[in-house]
Structures are given as C-alpha cells and as structure tokens.
Structure 1
Amino acid sequence: MTADTRSEDVTAVGAPRPGGAGRIGDRIVSRIGYGAMQLERLRDDRPAAVALLRRAVELGVDHIDTAQFYGDGLVNGMIREAIRPEDGVTLVSKVGAEPAAGPVPLRAAQRPEQLRAGVEDNLRSLGIDQVPVVNLRRLDSGPGLRAEGDQAVDLDDQLAVMTAMRDEGMIGAIGLSSVTLEGLRRALPAGIVCVQNAYSLVSRGDEDMLELCTAEGIAWVPYFPLGSAFPGIPKVTDEPAVLAAATSLGVTASQVGLAWLLHHAPESLLIPGTATIGHLEENIEVGSLVLDAATLAELDSVPTRSAGSLG
C-alpha cells in the first residue's frame, strides 16, 4: 500500500486531503490521518470497525497508524480486512512493546531480536510484504513504560536492526517514538522520517525537537494531541482559551486543540483516534478550520506543562 503520488491535492481514491498534503519521507499523505488504537473498543463489532475504516478512506485519510500490540493483532486484522491496495494508504506501525496480562497491558520489547519479531508479526497480521513505516518506540520520554534490566538497550543497537530490516525490504522507512532530543540527533544518520512523541497545546516540552524535525523535513506526529487520561497530564479541552475559541467558532474544544497543532508547525501530521464515525467526521473537519491571528495568539499564550516530566 503506497500513498498516491499523482497529485498532492487528492488521495488515490480521489478524495481531497483533509488538512492538505504532508509528507512522511518520500510519501505524500493527508495531514489528518487516523490512529487505530481505539478500534480495540469494537472487538465485538467487527463490521463497525471495517465501516469506520472505509469511511476514513472516503473522507481522505491515507495515513493509518497502528501496532501489532493493539489488541494483540486484533486491530491489524481489522485494517487488513478493510483497507485495499488501491486505497493508497500509508500504514505506519511500531515496535518496542508487546501485549501483557495485568493492569498494564504492555511490556517493553526493546531487544533487537524482539524488534525484528515485532515487524514479522506486523507483516503477518496486516497481510503485506512490507510495512511502509515502522516507528521504533523508545521508552525515554513521555508517560508510560520505561526500559529496565535487559530492556535498556542502546539506541545504536536498535537502529542497526531497524536499518537491516529496511535494507532487507521488510520496512520502507524508520521513525522514532517516545524519544529524547539527544536520541533523535544520534539517529539522524539512519534516515528518520517521523517522530511520535506526546505533545499538545498544553504539553509543549519538545519544542526544540519539533524545530529540529522541521529543519530536517521529518514528520512530527504527536500522540496525546489533546492531553491524556493519564494522571497528572492536563487536558487541552479543559483550557479556558480553548473553550472560548470553540464557542466563538461554533466548534468543539477538541477541534480547536487539533487545529492548533496543524497551524503551529508545517511538519505536523495528526492521527486522532476514535471508534465512531461521527467523531471521525468531526476530526476530518479540523482540516478546514481557520484560526485567525488573534485566536492563535490566545492559544499560544496557554502555559505548557511537559508530558515528558509526568508519570
């Protein structure tokens, strides 16, 4: 599955690109994509999951973010059923964690052999010969897992196996997730095409990394773009400036928070997730939402609390 290269204005299915055209490496994608993690909520209604994915493609989504550890292959199977080669969708997956039983549903899987096994699992569950982009999920920043013991693996060792898999054709390009600025700088010679870190209007601690991505032409793909339910992480939709802008524009606070990300940096690509078509359509509408200079100034003045220092 590859992104359409015939026109930057429309996708392979002829739909306008929501948010305009962006890039992941040499692939043109819509700036508003779809994060598939919430499809796990539809495990008992697979037809609804397939219908949601088909609607996303109809609306111009041609960048879907997934992982084998979303439902232990469940979500990848839904994508395999719903997405067709002619849709021109760029699939982005990630390795570095794996499913686990217990209150925390993930555990670290950072060793080189585990990264390779993770890519192999993605290939099988997605039913493809190459994953277009695979993010190495480091555990250096943001909330959640941290690498300990034999899972504390040097970045160079991880990049060696990632580049080997790219050379072998298993993956098309390499991204990074939950990485530090120093880690990104070290990884640049490997040809990094995207970075996924926790980042939002209220958690802008990675501004220096965003500037580096912009300078290097690396796609910036924030997760938790509206904050998070994790304890201690603020929510964008609770901010008075966001609520005031939403009221003035006649949209939701979530739409304002996502629109700010698109306006803030040209390299930003959004992958908001949802399990409902109505919410999906609201997310797509963000691509046409205009924030004037006064509104942007008010939003830019919202204080930032770095997600990297929380949890």
Structure 2
Amino acid sequence: MTTSPITADASGTWQLGDLPVHRIGFGAMRLTGSGPFHHGTPSDRERSLAVLRRAVELGVNHIDTAAFYFSSTRSANELINTALAPYPDDLVIVTKVGPFRDYSGAWGTAARPDQLRGHVEENLRQLGRDHLDVVNLRRMRQESIAEHFGALAELREAGLIRHLGVSDVEPRHLAQALEIAPVVCVQNRYGLDSPDPRTDELLRICGERGIAFVPFFAVAGEGGAHGPTGDERDEVLAVARDHGATPVQIRIAWTLHQGRHVLAIPGTGNPGHLAENVASGALRLTDGELERLNAVHTGRSLP
C-alpha cells in the first residue's frame, strides 16, 4: 500500500497580511548553485525545476527568493518563473531588496533609497509579475532604515508591492519601520546555534503584534550561508532518534515550536530532502524535548 506524503498543511497556517501561507515554506537561495550563497556543485537545472514543482505539489505556498540570488549558471527568480508560472492563486512569493550585486556577481555597497524602485522592478521582470506579494528590506548595517523603508512604502502605495517586511534588524529598526507602514514579517538569522538576545526580543515582539517571524539559516546552524557543517549536537541527535527523524527535521520542528507566528523556509535542491523538510511540519516535540533543545539554544545546562 502506498502511503500519502505529508504535506505542508500539517505545519499549520499564518497570515502574511491578508495572504495565508503554510508555516513550512521553501527558500530558493540554494537553487542558485555555487557562488556567494552556496559553495558546492550547482544543482542540475531540470532537477531544480522539478524540486520547485514538487514543493507546490506538497502544499508549499510560500517561496522566499531575491533577484540577487544568482550565480554564473543559475538565477533563483528565473527558475521560479520557469517552473511555476502561471502561478497558483494561493502561491505567495516573498523577495527582498537592499544588497546590491552587479551583473558579474560582484557585491557593491548597499542600495540607496532611490535605487530600490529599480530593484523592485527587476524582481517583477524576472518573476513575470505585475506586483510583488511581499518585499523585505534587508538592512545593510544602517543605523536607521527609515529612508529606505519609506521608499518601499511609496512603492506599496503605488501598487507595485502588496506587503512589506524587514530583514536583519534589531527591535529599534522594526519600530522605525512600523512608524512608516505596516510590517507583515521579520527575517533574521535564528536557530539552535544562533543565540542572540536582540533576536529573541524580536521573536517576542513579533508574536505580540501578529507579525510573522521568518528565520534564515535555521537548518544550517553555524555553517550559515555555506550550509550545514556535518557536525551535530548530541541533544539534537537524541531527539531525532526518538522520533525516527533526521537532525534537520528536528531543527525545523524546533523552529516551528517557537511560536505560531514562526515560519520556516528551508531550502534544498534535493527532492528527497524537500519531502523530509515538508514532513517536519507534522513533528510534535514533547515539553521535555523542547526543554533539552531550548537549553542548547540558550547555552544553559540542565540539571
């Protein structure tokens, strides 16, 4: 007898503004192949397209991307457009602006506020859309994001953007943005191996305000943009054994257990890993397991 695969709806849902999404989404960064975001062999193009289509088949309706996710052989936005257009009505594509790369791939300084319209239009062109569902402003070490976020708010008023978010921010930056326009999501680095009191505070604030908190590098841990290091915490391995799951699945499940407003966007170019990531949304950790994993996050010892 064939067992039906676990789909993304098992993770529950949350609203990005007026857009409902399942709490397990998909991050497109790793589809770009070797380059600044992934140091390894580029995924086969047809397999990358198949992974995107399979993600949607498994109920994923939240894809995270950016025009600056590209390498010499891959563009995340082009892959998404090729694989999924015409887009399903319930599919929410979230992109981000702020970092600047030229067409050779070289990084420049952070985009100026007056350059953000061009970056938004480039995402529109690559994705084949007439508006963007959600655009995150990725902070590039600015003390204040008010001018940049204000420029995006004007594009929202013009109808090019439906909702706005912020990324790589502190609580004070979120406060600056909220004075200008509604914020539907915050993207920050967060995971078992990424303790940061300011991010923990953001997680709490977002929960209180009904804002989605969307961690990046939650699976990669200390490896960050380079991907998982291959080493794993004993506590994660033990919980994984108890559930017959992989350590990656436990990391995703722990992420989702941090609050109903927390969304996960694990990325992969591997169809098998995709199915495992989506199935993580069905894992339910016990209070004891959460206590053990939370202790890893905070660096405290259990008695």
TM-score calculated relative to the size of structure 2: 0.85
What CA distance in whole angstroms lies between the structure 1 residues aligned with 2:103 and 2:81? 25
Residues 116 and 165 of structure 1 are in contact (CA less than 8 Å); yes or no, is this contact kept in structure 2?
A: yes
Gap change, CA 1:154 and 1:183, over 3 Å in 2: closer
Question: Displacement of 1:193 after TM fit?
Answer: 0.5
Structure 2: 5+ residue stretches without partners: 1-6, 34-40
Gap change, CA 1:230 and 1:47, over 3 Å in 2: closer
**Partner deviation per Cα, 1:8-49 (whole Å, 9 max, x = no partner):** xxxxxxx66141111211110010000001111286732222
Structure 2 partner of 1:218: 211
Structure 2 partner of 1:121: 122
Residues 134 and 175 of structure 1 are in contact (CA less than 8 Å); yes or no, is this contact kept in structure 2?
A: yes
Gap change, CA 1:178 and 1:108, over 3 Å in 2: farther
CA RMSD of aligned residues (A): 2.5
Structure 2 partner of 1:147: none
What CA distance in whole angstroms lies between the structure 1 residues aligned with 2:113 and 2:65? 20
Residues 8 and 278 of structure 2 are in contact (CA less than 8 Å); yes or no, is this contact kept in structure 1?
A: no
What CA distance in whole angstroms lies between the structure 1 residues aligned with 2:135 and 2:143? 18
Question: Displacement of 1:108 after TM fit?
Answer: 3.6
Q: Which structure 2 residues correspond to residues 141-290 of structure 1 after superposition, within 5 A?
A: 152=142, 154-189=144-179, 190-205=181-196, 206-226=199-219, 227-230=221-224, 238-290=232-284
Residues 193 and 222 of structure 2 are in contact (CA less than 8 Å); yes or no, is this contact kept in structure 1?
A: no
TM-score calculated relative to the size of structure 1: 0.83
Gap change, CA 1:129 and 1:266, over 3 Å in 2: same
The letter for the 2-side match of 1:24 is: L
Residues 237 and 243 of structure 1 are in contact (CA less than 8 Å); yes or no, is this contact kept in structure 2?
A: no
What CA distance in whole angstroms lies between the structure 2 residues aligned with 1:17 and 1:236? 29
Structure 1: 5+ residue stretches without partners: 1-14, 141-151, 306-311
What CA distance in whole angstroms lies between the structure 1 residues aligned with 2:224 and 2:49? 29
| Partner SS for 1:85 | coil
The letter for the 2-side match of 1:258 is: I
| Partner SS for 1:164 | helix
Structure 1 partner of 2:3: none
Question: Displacement of 1:185 after TM fit?
Answer: 1.3
Residues 252 and 280 of structure 2 are in contact (CA less than 8 Å); yes or no, is this contact kept in structure 1?
A: yes
Question: Displacement of 1:105 after TM fit?
Answer: 5.2
Q: Which structure 2 residues correspond to residues 41-190 of structure 1 after superposition, within 5 A?
A: 41=33, 45-71=44-70, 74-83=75-84, 84-99=86-101, 106-140=107-141, 152=142, 154-189=144-179, 190=181
**What is the number of equivalent residue pairs in this alignment?**
279
